[in-house]
Amino acid sequence: MADKRRKATSTKRKEEISELKAEIRNLRSELDLKSELKELQGLVKAPPVDVVVSENINLSSAIHQQQFDIARAHSTLPPPLELHPLCTRIRLKKSWDQRSATLLSLREQIFRAAHEYITIRSQYSSSYSSDERFETANGDVCCSIFQTVHFPGVKSLKQVYDAILFSMNNVEISICERLGHITTRDDYDCVDSSIYNARMISTDDMGVTTEVSGIMFSRFFDSDDRSFSDAPCGMLVIDSVDEDELYPYVPASEYAKMYLQPLY
């Protein structure tokens, strides 16, 4: 007898939400179709106004009820995972050779995880932007943002990749210009031209200092390099350093800001 596995509650809820959203789209299409039919019928013989009003009220009520059902289903979903699928513990030693070896050993793993996550995350999503905020058991406030951005008028994918890479390499200038925070950057190491290690310290108007120690993995995969995709693609993955023996985090004087940002 075949082994029938029970679906997880979160999976069932997500399926219910998808079904409810599809039903809302059908109801709206039906409402639009009825409106068009009423206009066409009006050329021949207009139905009683009270009948049209009653049908519209019933359809609108059904749509609102489906939206409430979606909100109710959302309330039963479990909170976002505290451990992100892309989360990688990065520990750097004092020796420069060991640091470089650690980052090189992580590179392919991080690229593969980023490609898989973005592919799966966007597979059934029709939204261009989603934002989830939650607090971990340790009291850390986390934010998970997933966005799809279109660049009209660009000449090539490589042009977009180069522009994003340039922006990330000068991010401290953007922080100063947009937020007015005094921000400095220390460049530690550049491994194999595709791995970049830097530390930024930013102080706001209230005198609060925030430290960010990050690693950026970047590579453009052209049509000849099909490591992850049959089509050309560019990837930038930025992750925080969890432990650094050479430049340890000083909690008494600074706040640590941890981040993880895959760009594809």
Closest CA to 92 of 239, 245, 194: 245
Instruction: Compute the mean pLDDT over every residue in the chain, rounded to the nearest whole number.
Output: 76
Q: Given a cut of 70, is residue 83 above it in pLDDT?
A: no
Closest CA to 236 of 138, 55, 115: 115
Comparing 4-8, 190-194, 254-258, the range with the smallest average pLDDT is: 254-258
What is the model's pLDDT at position 60?
Answer: 78
In a domain, 40, yes or no: no
CB 232 within 8 A of CB 222: yes
Pair of tokens at residue 144: 């998970």
In a domain, 196, yes or no: yes
In a domain, 232, yes or no: yes
Tokens 């430290």: give the residue: 211
Q: Which domain holds residue 227?
A: 81-244
Q: Given a cut of 70, is residue 200 above it in pLDDT?
A: yes
The pLDDT tens digits for 92-102 are 898 888 988 99
Q: How far apart, in whole angstroms, are the C-alpha atoms of residue 249 and residue 242?
A: 9
Comparing 94-103, 137-146, 151-160, 251-260, the range with the smallest average pLDDT is: 251-260
Give the HSE-up count for residue 79: Cα atoms under 13 Å, Cβ half-sphere. 9
Pair of tokens at residue 27: 């109801």
Q: Given a cut of 60, is residue 166 above it in pLDDT?
A: yes
State the amino acid at position 224 in one-letter form. Answer: D
Task: Say which residue, 162 or 137, is predicted with more confidence.
Answer: 162
Task: Say which residue, 53 or 203, is predicted with more confidence.
Answer: 203
Task: Say which residue, 50 or 152, is predicted with more confidence.
Answer: 152
Percent of the chain with pLDDT over 90: 1
In a domain, 235, yes or no: yes
Write down the pTM of the prediction.
0.62
In a domain, 192, yes or no: yes
Task: Say which residue, 222 or 258, is predicted with more confidence.
Answer: 222
In a domain, 209, yes or no: yes
In a domain, 45, yes or no: no
CB 47 within 8 A of CB 41: yes
- Domain count of the fold of the chain: 1
Q: How far apart, in whole angstroms, are the C-alpha atoms of residue 221 and residue 158?
A: 10
Closest CA to 121 of 88, 156, 91, 147: 147
Report the 10 Å Cβ neighbour count for 214.
Answer: 21
**What is the torsion angle, in degrees rounded to the nearest 10, for the CA atoms of residue 186, residue 259, residue 92 and residue 248?**
60
The pLDDT tens digits for 30-44 are 777 777 666 655 555
In a domain, 43, yes or no: no
Task: Say which residue, 236 or 32, is predicted with more confidence.
Answer: 236
Most confident segment among 5-19, 124-138, 179-193, 234-248: 234-248
DSSP characters over 67-123: HHHHHHHHHHSPPPPSS-TT----EE-SSHHHHHHHHHHHHHHHHHHHHHHHHHHTT
What is the model's pLDDT at position 2?
Answer: 44
